[in-house]
Amino acid sequence: MRLLLIEDDPMLGAGLKRALQQGGYTVDLATTGTEGAAGLRTGSYAAAILDLILPEMDGIEVIRDIRAAGIDTPVIMLTAQGHPDQRVEGLDAGVDDYMAKPFDLNELLARVRAVIRRKSGLLGDRVIIGDIEFDQAFRTAKRGNISIPLTAKELKVLQFFIHARGRFVSKGEVESAIYDNNITIDSNTVEVTVYALRKKFGSDFILTGRGLGYMIPK
């Protein structure tokens, strides 16, 4: 899944990008408010992490801008332990959650999962599809008590399908969700990964429709 990180501090930005990538996300980094708002307006992100004080446009202005444009991407705002009024202002403007600096990485990852889950209508980290139980926090899959090993790429694709459950997604959507902008995409990666997932979970685990793409049924 693709996240947008909007943070102007190079040290925090680089560290956080890396941590989120480690957490299984594809991460784009924007360093100004304008750049961040433009990125969010594309609507291609599962969630965004937005710093409050940014050059050109501050975090509150960014959130107002994208909410006014009808973008409902979940946004977690990074702040100092500020005045409650300020959080109220952010929440009212359309922020989904807050993290105060300095934050715990695991908590941030949990909150990112939570806002994405909420958006896709899921209740918890564990998803049961047929006889497969998938845990998004630990990124493991089990059939009964037998765990099914997954590669990083398979995990990313599976997560994306789960969040788009009940809806067909095109190959292009899958590609943009699992690749960083600067990496050249191997044209048949998606097919190869889907093939591998079907082998592990059963051929009807992922449906295909001509001209429609892929889907995990609800």
Partner 1 sequence: MTDTSRLWSSPLNVRLFWRVLALIVSITLSVGAMAYWTAREQVDSVYDIQLITGANVLRALMGDELAAIEQGQVNETLSIDDKPLLSAEDRLGFDAYADWRMFRIWKQGRLVVASDTGPRLGAQACPVQGYCDAKDRNSDIWRIYSLNLKEAHITVQVGERQSIRADLVRKVAMRLAGATIWVLPAGFLLIWLSLNDGLRSLGRLIRQISKRGAQDLRRISTDIWPADLAPLVMAIDGLLSRVETAKQQERTFIERAAHQLRTPLAALKVQAQMLGLVKTNAERQELMISLLQSVDRTVNLSEQLLTLARLEASASSTGLSDLYVEGRHALALLAPLATQKGVSLALDGEAETVAADSASIQLVLSNLLSNALTFAPPGSEIRVVIERDEPWILLSVNDEGPGLNPEDRERVFERFQRGASSAPTGAGLGLAIAQQAARTIGGHISLDARSDGRAGLSASIRLISA
Q: By CB under 8 A, what part of segment 21-50 binds partner 1? A: 22, 31
Q: Does 84 bind partner 1 (CB under 8 A)?
A: no
Q: Cβ closer to partner 1: 53 or 68?
A: 53
Contact indicator for 33, 55 with CB cutoff of 8 Å: yes
Among 68, 69, 80, 88, binds partner 1 (CB under 8 A): 80
Q: According to the binding rule CB under 8 A, does residue 6 interact with partner 1?
A: no
CB of residue 28 to partner 1, shortest distance in Å: 17
Beta strands in the chain (DSSP E): 2-6, 26-30, 47-51, 75-79, 97-100, 126-129, 132-135, 140-143, 146-148, 207-209, 213-215
Does 56 participate in binding partner 1 (rule CB under 8 A)?
A: yes
Binding residue (CB under 8 A) for partner 1 from 79, 136, 159, 193: 79
Q: Which residues pair with 75 in a beta bridge?
A: 48
Identify the CA nearest to 3 among candidates 189, 177, 173, 159: 177
Interface pick for partner 1 out of 2, 3, 5, 8 (rule CB under 8 A): 8
- DSSP annotation of 36 reads H
Query: How much helix, strand and coil, in percent to the nearest 5, is found in the chain?
Result: 40, 20, 35
Measured distance CA(217)–CA(168) in Å, rounded: 9
Binder among 47, 52, 155, 178 for partner 1 (CB under 8 A): 52
Least separation in angstroms between CB 210 and partner 1? 41
* Residues near partner 1 (CB under 8 A), total: 32
According to the binding rule CB under 8 A, does residue 88 interact with partner 1? no
